[in-house]
Chains A and B, each alone.
Chain A
Amino acid sequence: MSPLAAADSPTLADFGSDPWWIVLIKVVGVFVVLVLMTLFAIVFERKVVARMQQRIGPNRVGPRGSLQSLADGLKLAFKEDIMPALADRPVYFLAPVIATIPAFLAFSVIPLGPTVSIFGERTPLQLTDAPIGVLVVLACSAMGVYGIVLGGWASGSTYPLLGGLRSAAQMVSYEIAMGLSIVAVFLYAGTMSTSEIVAAQADGIPLFGGAVTGPSWFAVLLPVSFVIYVTAVVGETNRAPFDLPEAESELVGGFHTEYSSLKFALFFLAEYVNMVTVSALAATLFLGGWRAPWPLSEWDGANSGWWPLLWFFGKVIVALFVFIWLRGTLPRLRYDQFMRFGWKVLVPTALVWILAVATMRTVARESGADVGEVAVFVGVPLALLVVAGLLIASRASNRDTRLAARAAAAGSTTPTVPEVLPPAGKQRPAAGGFPVPPMDLVVPPSPRLGRREPVGAGAPSPQEDADV
């Protein structure tokens, strides 16, 4: 860490010396922040998705519908609590609790701001930190899986069980990709503590002997890690397009099908708190944490006092927006495709990337070149090469589709790919294996056009019309 960043920036030594009432304030503060963020995120999600679908969204409760999730939460609390007859009672009861507690716990190591003064006490705006800070988040998300898995199992019903099984496989697989994506950050920051990772992103990296400073956010320095992290946490939090444990069209409600009332509310709360936590972790690890983004950071006061809370939550909300954007845009994956993507794309890419990053670090250290120069002269050409290779590969693999599309645009109705099965039995008008509506339909007479001639048999079909 450079002396420039050290002014208000907390280090590991600053933790563990708070008086009890400050700890209490921080604990309550983290809890309140998470609950408020959940309430906000639900309304935000519904509003954003509505806007993406040309709707208005919730607009009844509170100003512009902003209290909708509060009303929904209250309503949920007064619903009937159902215990299925086949449920395993203790586990059924415990599952939502197990899902919720780690979700809240994980936020305790997220740094919200620099050292500030609370009633005269100088203390970092972070509940706690440890040398293994980020691993605490990973451990909590590993525990959160139990809530979903056990909820699915204890319900004593088929769909929840399937949802539980899916989530067990999914979350364990994507946690590996998530953990691997963070490794490169550890390598660059030289620490696992969240507050020190934020500090490591404080100053721009000097390029060309310090004449220019480049961006120091790990999202820019380690773009592959960032992309893998973002992809993996979507799977980790069971959000669309990776929401297979609760795929409505396949599993009704997935693991929480049998849950109602407050227990369901706890699952819901856990999902959104997890979303906020991984967004906050993304901001901490890759987007500079609570530090102000570039144009703002020119102002001296931007990184001291309570202002950083604003930048931090701004980044978190941007990350939440990306979650919602994905949900509004992408269709759900098929389960096998999803698992293949995790194991055969994300994990190997992450491993190769770690190898590349470690090599670059070593080369930079051995040759005495600074990190920025290595990144510019080695990283950028390599990245261009890889991107070009990927473009060519994807173009080659889509060749058939492209040719077929061109042929179809030219008016061809015969598929370029030979049929798999020869048409067996009764011939159906299936053009190349695609459904064809009956061509001899007539429009029935409308009852509202009583006096007029019914448009019916004998009328030329549009097809013939066009030919004439």
Chain B
Amino acid sequence: MTPLAAAAEGVQIGTGEAVAFWILGPIALAGALGMVLSRNAVHSALWLVNTMLALGVFYVVQGAPFLGAVQIIVYTGAIMILFLFVLMLVGRESSDSVVETLRGQRVAAIVLGIGFAGLVGAGVARAAEGAVVRGLGEDAGGEGNIHAIAELLFTRYLLAFEVTSALLITAAVGAMVLAHVEREPGERRTQKELSRARFLDGDHPQTLPGPGVYARGNSIALPGRLPDGTQSRLSLATGVEAQQVDELAPTGSLGIEREGLPHAGGTDAALGTADRGEDTPR
């Protein structure tokens, strides 16, 4: 059989592959649309993850399992996670603004987008029309997949492979240089030195008392109380204005002196021991 005849014969697409395509196609497309349309940046990233996952499964279905796995591990698992990492730091409330800065921008974008999709789609459809499905063949697809890729990478495409890795390493080194902070050795104090310094200098080697510890409220603006009942200024957070403590009535009081105030009734009312006072009015 001549190569031409083999090419003309082609390969039948199996039912499983067709079913997988028609399920995954809409999912991938929905992911792409959702990525463009959602206002929240993290939601956009998630839609993109969805599309990438679908692509990975496509590769596996089409007999390139290694490519599929790499797509999922590298793009979905590492790169998109780093994207998310950055987006999470931006803050949850930062959704896209819907105010148009350029008039008619959105309509123009939609029209141009649909037009571009139509052009590319039509072009690809015309080019692929009448093309014969050949598949990857026994050597390149399926079980020989990894060996075939390895052989090509380390023979025919060795130079391109090495140049790409050199490029990536240069980029990584460049990023590190840009983010590097010059420090003299010994300028930054170690944990041991910091710990020593804390005990040698200053009056509080331990952690500062927390606000609201022994306090009569749980606001951070209320100072904590020391065991002798005095208020601890140290417990107040910097930047928060201290508030006057709203004192509860002393034990045994009926709370009459606090009529109209919040938590009137005093401790005894709260504890249910108030009726003790009725027999012996003070």
Interface bin, chain B = 35 or more
B92 touches A139 (CB 8 A): no
Contact of A143 with B76 at beta-carbon distance under 8 Å, contacts A91-B43, A165-B88, A423-B200 already known: yes
CB distance from B49 to the nearest CB of A (A): 7
B73 located at the interface, meaning its Cβ lies under 8 Å from any Cβ of chain A in the complex:
yes
Q: Point out the residue from B42, B85, B145 that lies within 8 Å of A169, measured CB to CB.
A: B85
Contact of A164 with B88 at beta-carbon distance under 8 Å, contacts A172-B78, A435-B199 already known: yes
Residue of B nearest to A161 (CB): B88
Interface positions of A from 411 to 458, Cβ below 8 Å from B: 419-426, 428, 430, 432-435
Q: Point out the residue from A138, A334, A421 that lies within 8 Å of B73, measured CB to CB.
A: A138
A143 touches B72 (CB 8 A): yes
Q: Point out the residue from B69, B88, B142 that lies within 8 Å of A153, measured CB to CB.
A: B88
Residue of A nearest to B195 (CB): A433
B89 touches A165 (CB 8 A): yes
A165 touches B200 (CB 8 A): no
B72 / chain A contacts, CB cutoff of 8 Å: 139, 142-143
In the docked arrangement, what's the CA distance between A425 and B82, Å?
47
Contact of A434 with B66 at beta-carbon distance under 8 Å, contacts A143-B72, A156-B92, A168-B85 already known: no
B69 touches A132 (CB 8 A): yes
Contact of A420 with B85 at beta-carbon distance under 8 Å, contacts A139-B73, A192-B146 already known: no
A433 touches B77 (CB 8 A): no
A421 touches B85 (CB 8 A): no
B92 touches A421 (CB 8 A): no
B65 touches A420 (CB 8 A): no
A433 touches B65 (CB 8 A): no
B143 located at the interface, meaning its Cβ lies under 8 Å from any Cβ of chain A in the complex:
yes
Interface positions of B from 82 to 120, Cβ below 8 Å from A: 82, 84-85, 88-89, 92
CB distance from B188 to the nearest CB of A (A): 11
A434 touches B193 (CB 8 A): no
A334 / chain B contacts, CB cutoff of 8 Å: 191
Contact of A131 with B145 at beta-carbon distance under 8 Å, contacts A91-B42, A142-B72, A164-B88 already known: yes
B61 located at the interface, meaning its Cβ lies under 8 Å from any Cβ of chain A in the complex:
no
B248 located at the interface, meaning its Cβ lies under 8 Å from any Cβ of chain A in the complex:
no
A12 located at the interface, meaning its Cβ lies under 8 Å from any Cβ of chain B in the complex:
yes
Residue of B nearest to A430 (CB): B199
B197 touches A420 (CB 8 A): yes
B203 located at the interface, meaning its Cβ lies under 8 Å from any Cβ of chain A in the complex:
yes
In the docked arrangement, what's the CA distance between A263 and B66, Å?
33
B196 located at the interface, meaning its Cβ lies under 8 Å from any Cβ of chain A in the complex:
yes
B143 touches A434 (CB 8 A): no
Interface positions of B from 48 to 78, Cβ below 8 Å from A: 49, 53, 56, 65-66, 68-70, 72-73, 76-78
A91 touches B46 (CB 8 A): yes
A131 touches B66 (CB 8 A): yes
CB distance from A205 to the nearest CB of B (A): 23
In the docked arrangement, what's the CA distance between A419 and B192, Å?
11
In the docked arrangement, what's the CA distance between A22 and B18, Å?
24
A130 located at the interface, meaning its Cβ lies under 8 Å from any Cβ of chain B in the complex:
yes
In the docked arrangement, what's the CA distance between A428 and B203, Å?
8
B156 located at the interface, meaning its Cβ lies under 8 Å from any Cβ of chain A in the complex:
no
Q: Point out the residue from B88, B191, B193, B203 that lies within 8 Å of A426, measured CB to CB.
A: B203
Q: Helix, strand, loop or mixed for chain B's interface?
A: helix
B201 touches A168 (CB 8 A): no
Interface positions of A from 127 to 176, Cβ below 8 Å from B: 130-132, 135-136, 138-139, 141-143, 145-146, 149-150, 152-153, 156, 161, 164-165, 168-169, 171-172, 175
In the docked arrangement, what's the CA distance between A424 and B136, Å?
76
B81 located at the interface, meaning its Cβ lies under 8 Å from any Cβ of chain A in the complex:
yes
B196 touches A421 (CB 8 A): yes
Contact of A145 with B81 at beta-carbon distance under 8 Å, contacts A132-B66, A132-B146 already known: yes
CB distance from B66 to the nearest CB of A (A): 6
A88 located at the interface, meaning its Cβ lies under 8 Å from any Cβ of chain B in the complex:
yes
In the docked arrangement, what's the CA distance between A152 and B65, Å?
32
A139 / chain B contacts, CB cutoff of 8 Å: 56, 69, 72-73, 77
In the docked arrangement, what's the CA distance between A169 and B65, Å?
27
Per-residue B-contact encoding for A238-257, CB less than 8 Å = 1, 0 else: 00000000000000000000
B189 located at the interface, meaning its Cβ lies under 8 Å from any Cβ of chain A in the complex:
yes
User: Which of B56, B73, B193 is the most central at the interface, judged by chain A CB atoms within 10 Å of its CB?
Assistant: B73
Residue of A nearest to B75 (CB): A142
CB distance from B79 to the nearest CB of A (A): 10
B191 / chain A contacts, CB cutoff of 8 Å: 334
In the docked arrangement, what's the CA distance between A90 and B49, Å?
15
Beyond A132-B69, A168-B84, 13 additional pairs, beta carbon < 8 A: A132-B145, A132-B146, A139-B73, A168-B81, A172-B81, A422-B200, A424-B201, A425-B201, A428-B203, A430-B199, A430-B200, A430-B205, A433-B195
List the 9 closest pairs (A to B, CB-CB), nearest first. Answer: A142-B77, A433-B196, A135-B69, A139-B72, A420-B193, A430-B199, A421-B197, A132-B65, A132-B69
Tell me the B residues contacting A by CB distance below 8 Å. Answer: 40, 42-43, 46, 49, 53, 56, 65-66, 68-70, 72-73, 76-78, 81-82, 84-85, 88-89, 92, 142-143, 145-146, 189, 191, 193, 195-197, 199-203, 205
